Chain A
Amino acid sequence: MIKKTVEFIALKQRFIIAAAVIFALLYPLLFSDLFILRMGTLCLMYIMLALGINLIMGYMGQMTFGHAAFWGIGAYTAAILSGRFGTNFIVDIIAAALVAGAFGFLLGLPVLKVKGYYLTIVTLGFGEIVRLVELNASGLTGGALGIRGISGIRLFAQEFTSPRAFYYAILILVVLTTVILMRINNSRYGLALKSIRDDDSAAEVMGVNVVRNKIMTFVISAMIAGVAGAFFAHYISYIDSTSFTTQASQEMCVMVILGGLGSIPGTMLGASVLTLVPEFIRGLAEYRMLIYGVIMVVMMLVRPQGLLGYTDFGLIRTRLLEERGKKKGGGENNGTTGTEG
């Protein structure tokens, strides 16, 4: 059944993407309920975070447990800037991306020496240190009290605070992120990353600058998380260090692995499922997290590669069309195979 579904999706790719975009655009108009709108917004934010971490985990094959730190750095940057200087949203986003990117560069530097699980520990330690600084440096971050009363989206001398405005803001950011990642996917840089993932020694021998590519990945991924953080700060209007824990980093990893490493639609699916499921079983109160755990285990047992892991829709489409061509005209097929991926 899964195979049939996947094949159907592969064939109707463009149609489904168009439908998804239209649905995402109309979503706030279709549902006026504030809770549902909020779920949609959060879902999109997590998709953005998961897409960023997917670059490190799915494309570069590096486990990381410190991603929430970048999210937090972005959030604090935006909150401090807009609180103290009254900057507008665009400035906040750019500043958050730059600051988070700088920290990403900092975290990327150890790749000169450290690899694999050892690097995972470095990311874990980094995440914890950043969180503790956020918790203790009360002069800058408000310490345990956090920063409250963060403004809405300031743009063109106006302040947007309606749920719909936030929804469309994050939708635009997600679309931008997706476009960037799709470009990376097929670029020289993307291919270099995948070669590093598969075998970094071989990649190095083939002339791929492993260190530079790895550091760049950390920077890009951190920037994406930073922007998501800036959005989060303005959206929630109150931030403190309890949001940006290692637990949060792990949840992001789970989203990517559950959705399927290295797959953009998979990551979106994983992030949506893991954001929405706990909310929809909220009625079960204390059993909520228990069920969440059971889902994690069962999903892995049923589909260890993740929902859409190792599923290349472009490839499946090409193969299916080829098979059809053979059936119809007995070998005269060509040109129908298409090149889009």
Chain B
Amino acid sequence: MFLQQLLNGIALGSTYALVAIGYSLVFGVLRIINFANGSLYMLGAYLVFVLYSAMNGQLVLAILFALLATAAAGFLVDFVGLRKLRRDNAPRMSGLISTMGIATIIENVIQIWIGTETKQFPDFLNFGSFQIGSAIVTSTQICIFFISLFLMAAFSLLVYKTKIGKAMRAVSQNMTTARLMGINVKLVISGTFMVSGFLAAVAGTMVGAYYRAIDTLMSSSVGMKTFAAAVLGGVGSLPGAMVGGLLVGVAESIGGSYISSGYRDAIAFAILILVLLIKPSGIFGKKIVEKM
């Protein structure tokens, strides 16, 4: 039972981690929370669903297009909602409202366009299952874990080892200086949003395949939990976002099965608050406190 819940938690947690990376990257660069990230997660899953039915079952192509389209949507979040605010030197809270507005728009467009009922999602990661002790592991869980791990590794390499990543880190340290050093700040910011949209879409698609269903409520609780995961790990820190995501997933899964399923999310949040009380700036966070 414990092992089973642990494995379930890890699978779920690794999708949280992907979305949390998106929050963390954007926060690192712009110092704002991109509330539209949770809705990009939903958008990604729904685009796969729509394209899959429109293209007569061309799954790989459908997923590819959906991921690219969500990355483009991530770019649009910044282009429509935030670029003008940056130019005007607007207070940070306004960026928050603007992304919240975009999240509302995305969620409602999907609701109007596709409807609010639960939709069946292609079960494309299912190649069977096997047992470890008393726990059953499905191939979907394995795939989710390894795809997430691969993407996390890839993006860590991107951020910490490449020139683009260096530019990103420079922008997050000081935007003006980065601009003076010849870094194309606009491009870096757009890139960051595209990456976060892409990762959110991957997570949404995998969760859709995991539960074999998607609905229009999927974004709200995930948005909240992944945002919490990003903060738990230490906002702006990539490894932090990963650990935070896994921790929230595992806490939710184990707490939900051992204590009470009704209190599933409450347990996840209680642990979160406890961790923050012990380690006030997140697990991997630096001791800098940003005011809003």
Contact = CB atoms under 8 A, between A and B. Distances in A.
A122 B291 CA distance: 15
A297 B102 contact: yes
Interface stretch (A37-45, A71-79, A212-220, A250-258): A250-258
B280 A113 contact: yes
A121 to B, nearest CB: 4
Interface stretch (A130-138, A155-163, A324-332): A130-138
Contacts of A126: 269, 273
B80 A297 contact: yes
Contact of A296 (B80, B101, B270): B101
A200 B202 CA distance: 40
B37 to A, nearest CB: 14
Nearest to A109: B277
Interface in B94-128: 94-98, 100-105, 107-109, 111-112
A110 B277 contact: yes
B272 interface: yes
Interface string A236-266: 0000000000110010001001100100000
A110 B274 CA distance: 10
A254 B93 contact: no
Contacts of A113: 276-277, 280
Contacts of B262: 132, 135-136
Interface in B53-100: 80-81, 84-85, 88, 90-91, 93-98, 100
Interface in B253-292: 260, 262-263, 265-266, 269-270, 272-273, 276-277, 280-282, 285, 289-292
Nearest to A294: B105
B228 interface: yes
A304 B85 contact: yes
B157 to A, nearest CB: 27
Interface residues of B, number: 51
A224 B96 CA distance: 25
Contacts of A286: 108, 111-112
B235 interface: yes
Interface string B193-226: 0000000000000000000000000001000100
Contacts of A257: 93-94, 96-97
25 contacts: A110-B273, A115-B289, A117-B33, A121-B272, A125-B269, A128-B269, A129-B269, A129-B270, A132-B262, A132-B266, A133-B263, A257-B93, A290-B105, A290-B112, A293-B105, A295-B101, A297-B101, A297-B102, A297-B105, A300-B94, A300-B95, A300-B97, A300-B101, A301-B98, A306-B94
A129 B265 CA distance: 8
In the A-B complex, the 5 residue pairs with the closest CB atoms: A296-B101, A304-B90, A293-B104, A125-B269, A293-B105
A338 interface: no
A157 B98 CA distance: 49
A121 B276 contact: yes
- If over half of B's interface residues share one DSSP class (helix, strand or loop), that class is named, otherwise mixed; here it is helix
B88 A289 contact: no
Nearest to B112: A286
A69 to B, nearest CB: 12
A62 B292 CA distance: 7
Contact of B272 (A115, A125, A246, A305): A125
Interface string A78-118: 00000000000000000000000000000000100111111
Contact of A121 (B85, B93, B231, B270): B231
A290 B108 CA distance: 5
Contacts of A301: 81, 84-85, 98
Contacts of B96: 63, 257
A158 B64 CA distance: 67
Given A128-B224, A246-B224, A300-B94, 5 more contacts: A120-B231, A124-B227, A286-B111, A296-B104, A297-B105
Identify the interface centre among B103, B272, B292: most chain A CB within 10 Å of its CB: B292
Contacts of B227: 121, 124
